[in-house]
Structure 1
Amino acid sequence: MYNCFDIAKQFLKFANEEGQGIEPMKLLKLTYIAHGWYLGFYDKPLIKNSVQAWKYGPVIPELYHVTKRFGSRSVDLETIELYSDNKLSDSDQHFIKAIWNTYKNFSGLDLSSMTHVKDTPWDEAFDPHQYHTIISNNVIKEHYKKLINERRKQS
């Protein structure tokens, strides 16, 4: 299991290789989405950080607090490297690459819209009377398993 910065760093590396940047919202949502698909496919968490249901969707607080200073600018890889602990295994790098290839053309706002609608883990956990509610990994896992099963039926 990795920390959220290990995953964010890999997304930033892929973006840099393609001459792209990633603003904070997109990086947050990509990291969350990767965690969700990983739970769905492998029944274990990709990141050890908790995910919370905030007003505008699921958030990994540690990643948010480090990246928010970038505003709408691209997050600096060197900043994220300061918080990264681990090198991803080859298979996990390939997994993150698949997530990148699937979602790289979506904006942070697009990804935010996808992750905080009805019948998502955010929808199940969000409580407007509580500031930040934790979204359990089991809820995230079941949601992504459902998506996997739906996609398999379509194939």
Structure 2
Amino acid sequence: MESIYEVARYFLTKESMSHKKLQKLCYFAQAWFLANYGKPLVPNRFEAWVHGPVCPDLYNRYRGWGWEKIPVERQPVLFDGAEVAGFLDKVYDIYGDYTADELERITHTDEPWNKARINCAPGSYSRNPIALKDMRDYYGERIGKVYGE
């Protein structure tokens, strides 16, 4: 398994971005990795916060940036598995051009996030975990649609 901080740093080598956008990219990386490989990319959990999925560990690392953009990461990021960087490149190719607000809207249509917030009023605080099984199953179904199966 990889470190959530290294995954975040990898995305930050691509561009300067807001904390919210970084959270969503890391969430999509976790979800699609689960769907493709049947195991988590990172050991950290994501929770169903009001603005979409959030990894609390990552939140605590970057919260000081507030709504400002986090600077580009200049140091290269190396992963244990050679396929990880290529996989993250694909995630970025799909979602990187979206704004943080657009990514938030996408995650709000996401079944795992909605399922974790089932008993929450719209706009209410939540620390409910998003189940790995729900992420794997939901995005696993999407793989067939992406590849026309």
TM-score (norm 2): 0.86
Q: How far did residue 87 of structure 1 move?
A: 3.4
Partner of 1:122: 113
Bigger share in helix: 1
Partner of 2:3: 3
Distance 1:62 1:77 in 2: 20
Q: How far did residue 77 of structure 1 move?
A: 5.4
Where does structure 2 lack aligned partners over 5 or more consecutive residues? none
* Residues 1:38 and 2:33 aligned together: yes
After the TM superposition, which segments of 4 or more aligned residues of structure 1 sit over 4 Å from their partners? none
The worse-fitting range, judged by mean Cα deviation, of 62-71 and 21-30 is: 62-71
What SS does the aligned partner of 1:53 have?
Answer: strand
What SS does the aligned partner of 2:69 have?
Answer: coil
Distance 2:72 2:2 in 1: 17
Partner of 1:108: 100
What SS does the aligned partner of 1:133 have?
Answer: coil
Distance 2:145 2:17 in 1: 29
The worse-fitting range, judged by mean Cα deviation, of 34-43 and 61-70 is: 61-70
| Residue identity opposite 2:148 in structure 1 | K
* Residues 1:12 and 2:12 aligned together: yes
Where does structure 1 lack aligned partners over 5 or more consecutive residues? 16-20
Partner of 2:42: 47
Alpha carbons 2:48, 2:127 under 8 Å: kept: yes
| Residue identity opposite 1:124 in structure 2 | K
Q: How far did residue 106 of structure 1 move?
A: 0.3
Alpha carbons 1:55, 1:128 under 8 Å: kept: no
Same amino acid, percent of matched pairs: 27
RMSD (CA atoms): 2.0
Partner of 1:149: 144
Q: How far did residue 113 of structure 1 move?
A: 0.7
TM-score (norm 1): 0.83
Q: How far did residue 67 of structure 1 move?
A: 1.5
Give deviations 1:2-28, integer Å, cap 9, x for gaps. Answer: 22111101101122xxxxx11100000
State the number of aligned residues.
142
